[in-house]
Structure 1
Amino acid sequence: MSLADSCCTCATLLSDVKVPYDPDSEKPLLYNRRLDCCSRYICASCQSKNPRFQDYCPFCQISSGPSALPREGLRLPPSYTKTPHARNASRTESPPPSYDDLLTPRRVPEQSTEPPADTEDTVHFVGSDDSLQALSLAYAVPIPILRRHNHLYSDQLLQARKWILIPRSHYNGPPLSTPPDPAEEERKTKLRRWMVATKCADYNVAQLYLKGSDYNLEIAVEAFKADEEWEKNHPLEGKGKDKPKPRSRFGRGGSLSGQLS
């Protein structure tokens, strides 16, 4: 042991370690211990505070006394440098994805309007009052299976679907919903397209223009834009503060001062 040696646990120089003594005999209770496995030192103070260090190496994790640890110690952690396997040595690593691909949101394919004709599952047409909990109780299908079978990652996505599939493995019977009326669906589609084209979200106004044009989308949009253009060129006069005050039957004013002025 040299003067430059230090404890491997507290990093104190062995020459500065306060060795615990027996108060009666004034003899040292412990000595600085040199580990046989790695030639490190553990000071007497650390052994006194943690008696486990008297027969255990915290670095090699080897115990000189009875212990559940293996005699050769635990396995070393894997190295940071990767050595390719023989079968993977010929493979070329693919480059990392570009930032443009990471920042571009992944687009989920839209659901088709018509359900698949060759499916063996039961097709349920989604209504405004349907929920996954209600469908799970009605068809006796667990909610996780309904989500996985229809690729629903959230319960709120059900309202955006026109139909969902009830797996045949859990339900084999007639659907508990009626298919929508094609004419009504076409009217709803034209209603939404009219709102997008005119940027008018008023349902009553949309119905008024579509009914007036016999649900001809182009004529309804042109009629709305023509009315907007006419209102722009012919603004209403006398609104708010610009509206003239009604004249009194006495002339300029109803009071005496108004009549004399």
Structure 2
Amino acid sequence: MSITDSCCTCATLLTDVKVPYDPESEKPLLYNRRLECCSRQICATCQYNNPRFQSYCPFCQISSGPSALPKDGLRLPPSYTKTSTSPKHGRAESPPPSYDDAMTPRRVPDQSIAPPENTDDTVHFVGAEDSLQSLSLAYNVPVLVLRRHNGLYSDQLLAARRWILIPKSHYTGPPLSTPPDPEEEERKTKVRRWMVATKCPDYNVASLYLKGTDYNLDLAVDAFRADEEWEKNHPLHGKGKGRDGQRRRFGRGGSLAGQLS
């Protein structure tokens, strides 16, 4: 035994190991043990604290005495190499299913046009309170299938859709939504275009101007710009109370946008 040898379990130098003694006979109960399988050594103290180490190697997992472990130690883990045949059944193993079909979204449908008429899927028109979770429960379709079938990378993207397709592989009944009114959709489109053209984000102001021109988009835009020009040329002098002690009714000016602010 070398002076640098140490126990393979507690890393104590064998020269410093306190060998347990029998208090009556004052003889050592155990000695340092050299393992035959790997030539490592286990000190007497570790064997005394853990009697299993007296006949077992914790590194090679081999027991020299009676044990429930196999004689040659534990079996090696299964190989990760590809095999052409199964050793148990003697036939070729089928490859695992691909994740591409379940995880790769489809091409995003064009929402600027009407939904396809010749599709076998069910067309659901998205409402303000719809979500992928609620549609999944209503049509009994998994959320993952709805996302992939409609090209949705995130659940929040549903708010930008006018309609989605319910796959026929999971649902073949009637749609649980009503188609939107074409006239109402046209009015909403003109409101959005008016807000972009005038750079006025107030929905109420846009509705008032369009209603005043019978939803003529060009006339509504011209009316707003004319009011803005008049307000620019005729600003209100003074703020707060007027000469009569009453507050002015208008806010920033005489246009509808100023009155509603």
Normalising by structure 2, we get a TM-score of 0.66
The secondary structure found in structure 2 opposite 1:240 is: coil
Q: Aligned-pair distance for 1:119?
A: 1.6
Q: Which runs of 5+ in 2 are unaligned?
A: 80-106, 246-261
Counterpart position of 1:112: 111
Contact 1:19 1:28 in 2 (8 A): yes
Which stretch of the first structure deviates more once superposed, 67-76 or 14-23? 67-76
Q: Distance in 2 between matches of 1:176 and 1:167?
A: 14
Q: Distance in 2 between matches of 1:122 and 1:28?
A: 85
Contact 1:60 1:74 in 2 (8 A): no
1:49 is aligned with what amino acid? N
Q: Aligned-pair distance for 1:18?
A: 0.8
Q: Distance in 1 between matches of 2:215 and 2:146?
A: 37
Contact 1:111 1:161 in 2 (8 A): no
1:40 is aligned with what amino acid? R
Counterpart position of 2:121: 121
The secondary structure found in structure 1 opposite 2:206 is: helix
Question: Quick one: structure 1 residues 74 and 42, their matched pair in 2 at CA, closer, same or farther if it must change by over 3 Å?
Answer: farther
Counterpart position of 2:35: 35
Q: Distance in 1 between matches of 2:178 and 2:74?
A: 70
Q: Aligned-pair distance for 1:232?
A: 3.7
Matched, 1:71 2:72: yes
Counterpart position of 2:96: none
1:120 is aligned with what amino acid? D
Q: Aligned-pair distance for 1:45?
A: 1.4
Aligned-residue CA RMSD (Å): 3.4
Counterpart position of 1:176: 176
Q: Aligned-pair distance for 1:206?
A: 0.6
The secondary structure found in structure 1 opposite 2:159 is: helix
Matched, 1:25 2:25: yes
1:33 is aligned with what amino acid? R
- The 5-angstrom pairing of residues 190-201 of structure 1 reads 190-201=190-201
Q: Which runs of 5+ in 1 are unaligned?
A: 79-107, 247-261
Q: Distance in 1 between matches of 2:187 and 2:164?
A: 22
Question: Quick one: structure 1 residues 23 and 123, their matched pair in 2 at CA, closer, same or farther if it must change by over 3 Å?
Answer: same
Counterpart position of 2:166: 166
Aligned length: 215
